[in-house]
């Protein structure tokens, strides 16, 4: 069995539920074992690195298109995994038992308040922009919190804050708005990077010297500045990317 492959984008449609005790994964709408989908020896990654991420495990066997087994849960957070999205990758298998990349050892993200302000005008349902009375200190990556709303900030222009997705509840003019920033927490993950990703990352904190499999640790310092540490696990070309999020994870 190869220690790694060149695909970070194998087919991963459907959702999965994990039985920690029996080391089994039950799928809904999945195609385990089908050519191009999960195969024995691949790494299955539970959840989303842009949302709730549960960690990685090696596929140790496939019983059917909707049932597979995993070698260990040592790389998983321990939280219940039910109806979760997943990715299938040929990333280096040894990272699934490396404590650096295990979700069991990830430090929890802490937050501090950047600003407490208010909405200058009503942001209706379906909007992804909020006009604030003050934007002092707000930057990309912060979280905007209003009544029944919590969204990632993607950009700030003038007095308008753009959000990562549209809101399902209106934010009324004058409503209290708090903007927070993560600090102290640490996240580590493994990414497949092709030449295109290396090019995109050149002018960012995620700059790389070459394509391959790379381990990335991110955290915010006490001043709220993003810090990025990168570890080249395998330097190679020809990796097929496509799992979410693409590198760099901005």
Residue 244 has what pLDDT? 80
Residues 37, 95 within the same domain: yes
Residues 130, 92 within the same domain: no
Q: What is the largest CA-CA distance in the chain?
A: 61
Nearest to 39 by CA among 22, 62, 16, 19: 62
Model confidence at 108: pLDDT above 60: no
CA separation (Å) from 69 to 9, 33, 66? 20, 12, 11
Residues 86, 205 within the same domain: yes
Is 247 within a domain?
no
Distance CA(117)–CA(128), nearest Å, equals 18
Residue 188 has what pLDDT? 87
Helix (H) or strand (E) holding 199: helix 195-201
Residues 166, 178 within the same domain: yes
On whether the CB atoms of residues 17 and 25 are closer than 8 A, the answer is yes
Mean pLDDT on 191-201? 93
Residue 181 has what pLDDT? 80
Residue 233 has what pLDDT? 96
Domain that holds residue 74: 15-106+185-235
Residue 106 has what pLDDT? 75
Residues 92, 131 within the same domain: no
Q: Is residue 105 helix, strand or coil?
A: helix
Read off the pLDDT band of 243 (50, 70, 90): confident
* Cis geometry, peptide bond prior to residue 143 (ω within 30 degrees of 0): no
Specify the DSSP class assigned to residue 224.
S
Is 244 within a domain?
no
* Residues paired with residue 185 on neighbouring β-strands, in sequence order: none
Residues 77, 151 within the same domain: no
CATH of the domain at 176: 2.40.30
Distance CA(189)–CA(191), nearest Å, equals 7
Percent of the chain with pLDDT over 70: 94
Residues 168, 189 within the same domain: no
Give the tens place of pLDDT for each residue, 157-181: 999 999 999 999 999 999 999 998 8
What is the pLDDT of the chain when averaged over all its residues? 91
On whether the CB atoms of residues 105 and 99 are closer than 8 A, the answer is yes
On whether the CB atoms of residues 107 and 16 are closer than 8 A, the answer is no
On whether the CB atoms of residues 27 and 65 are closer than 8 A, the answer is yes
Residues 143, 203 within the same domain: no
Residues 102, 189 within the same domain: yes
Domain count, the chain: 2
Nearest to 208 by CA among 183, 236, 186, 187: 236
Residues 176, 190 within the same domain: no
On whether the CB atoms of residues 105 and 63 are closer than 8 A, the answer is no
Is 9 within a domain?
no
Q: Is residue 103 helix, strand or coil?
A: helix
Give the tens place of pLDDT for each residue, 114-138: 899 999 999 999 999 999 999 999 9
What does the CA dihedral 214, 98, 217, 198 come to, rounded to 10 degrees? Answer: 10
């Amino acid at each position: 069995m190869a220690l790694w492959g060149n695909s970070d984008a194998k087919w991963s449609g459907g959702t999965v539920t994990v039985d920690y005790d029996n080391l089994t994964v039950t799928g809904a709408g999945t195609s385990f074992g089908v050519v191009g989908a999960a195969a024995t020896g691949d790494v299955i990654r539970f959840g989303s690195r842009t949302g709730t991420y549960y960690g990685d495990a090696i596929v140790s066997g496939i019983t059917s298109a909707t049932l597979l087994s995993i070698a260990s849960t040592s790389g998983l957070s321990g939280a219940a995994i039910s109806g979760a999205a997943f990715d299938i990758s040929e990333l280096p298998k040894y990272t699934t038992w490396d404590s650096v990349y295990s979700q069991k050892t990830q430090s929890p993200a802490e937050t501090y308040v950047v600003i407490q302000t208010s909405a200058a005008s009503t942001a209706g349902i379906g909007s992804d922009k909020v006009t604030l009375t003050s934007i002092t200190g707000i930057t990309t990556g912060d979280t905007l919190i209003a009544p029944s709303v919590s969204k990632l900030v993607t950009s700030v222009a003038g007095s308008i804050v753009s959000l990562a997705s549209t809101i399902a509840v209106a934010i009324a003019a004058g409503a209290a708005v708090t903007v927070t920033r993560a600090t102290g927490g640490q996240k580590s993950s493994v990414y497949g990077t092709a030449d295109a990703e290396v090019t995109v990352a050149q002018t960012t904190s995620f700059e790389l010297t070459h394509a391959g499999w790379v381990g990335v640790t991110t955290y915010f310092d006490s001043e709220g500045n993003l810090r990025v540490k990168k570890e080249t696990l395998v330097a190679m070309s020809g990796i097929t990317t496509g799992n979410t999020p693409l590198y760099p994870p901005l």
